[in-house]
Amino acid sequence: MKKNTQCSVEHKKYVSRLKRRKVLISLMRWGLLAAVIALWEILARAGAIDSFITSSPSRIWETFLSLCKDGSLFTHAGVTLYETVVSFLLATVLGTLIAIALWWCDTMRNVLEPHLVVLNALPKIALGPIIIIWVGAGTGAIIVMALMISLIITVLSTLNGFIEVDKGKLTLLDTMNATKFQKLVHLVLPANVPTIISALKINVGLCWVGTIMGEYLVSRAGLGYLIIYGGQVFKLDLVMTSTVVLCVLAALMYVCVAILEKLAYKKFAKA
């Protein structure tokens, strides 16, 4: 009885230490960000750095309020967010389906995998003019650019996860006369939930990069357009404000994927 009580007390102390560590890390994380912002503002006001080139938190805030007031920020951010979300969903769905097809057919995988590796190494920005000619100078070209950047990574990472499934478990299913579809549904896909979630996290960053890259090439709206416009007319406050908004939107999208990860793990843990 005493031993159980002692274990319970030790467990509570351990949990308490973990909570304190988590709070401390969170405070240090936000404290570091606040310190960088404060130092940036102080150096800009003191003239130690040129606020025309580097801007400053106060000037970024004023530009942000100005863009919100005339509604242009919501328009441009909405355009970029739409392009990013569409390319993210397409890359995830198509990438997973292609990985399944390559896992299903060994011959197809052996033929196409080297080509996918080469395509992944190809700088996608070089295909920008061709994409514009094929798709047109509009939203479609931007989505295709983001899709090209993120799709192959999704295919390769997910396919590697499928291939590395426990061979012993596959052999066990073979002895039970399981079909390939049953292996996929009951073993391969559940075992690769972490791999798919990891691909989603990678795609968040890649899709944002692809979208902004596409907007650099061809766009009349979007945060990438604001950054290019601000650089051309030397409104660097606009450039920095658009960049900060990009960071916030990318972080929020990553948080959504993290929430999805927790829900997926809970579901499969119960299963």
Highest mean pLDDT out of 27-41, 162-176, 187-201: 27-41
User: What does the pLDDT average to over 5-9?
Assistant: 62
Q: Is 179 helix (H, G, I), strand (E, B) or coil?
A: coil
Judged against a pLDDT cut of 60, whether residue 129 lies above it is answered with: yes
Which single residue is written with the structure tokens 């391969």? Answer: 188
**pLDDT score recorded for residue 175:** 80
Residues 102 and 112 sit within 8 Å (Cβ to Cβ) = yes
* Residues contacting 8, CB < 8 A, separation 6+: none
Q: How far is CA 102 from CA 48, 108, 118, 122, 143, in A?
A: 57, 6, 17, 21, 24
Residue type, 195: T
What secondary structure letter does DSSP report for 184? I
What are the start-end ranges of the H helices in the chain?
Answer: 2-46, 51-54, 57-70, 72-104, 106-121, 128-135, 139-163, 167-175, 180-183, 189-191, 193-217, 223-232, 236-270
Q: What pTM was estimated for this model as a whole?
A: 0.80
Residue 133 and residue 128: Cα distance in Å, rounded?
9
CA 262 from centre of chain: 16
Q: Which two tokens stand for residue 241?
A: 């404000």
Judged against a pLDDT cut of 80, whether residue 270 lies above it is answered with: no
Q: Which two tokens stand for residue 12?
A: 């509570």
Q: Which two tokens stand for residue 222?
A: 């979007």
Residues 173 and 219 sit within 8 Å (Cβ to Cβ) = no
Judged against a pLDDT cut of 70, whether residue 31 lies above it is answered with: yes
Judged against a pLDDT cut of 80, whether residue 136 lies above it is answered with: no
Q: How many CB atoms lie within 10 A of CB 225?
A: 19
**pLDDT score recorded for residue 5:** 59
**pLDDT score recorded for residue 268:** 60
pLDDT, one tens digit per residue, over 34-77 is 999 899 889 888 888 877 787 888 888 888 898 888 888 888 88
Residues 257 and 197 sit within 8 Å (Cβ to Cβ) = yes
Q: For the chain, what is the mean pLDDT?
A: 82
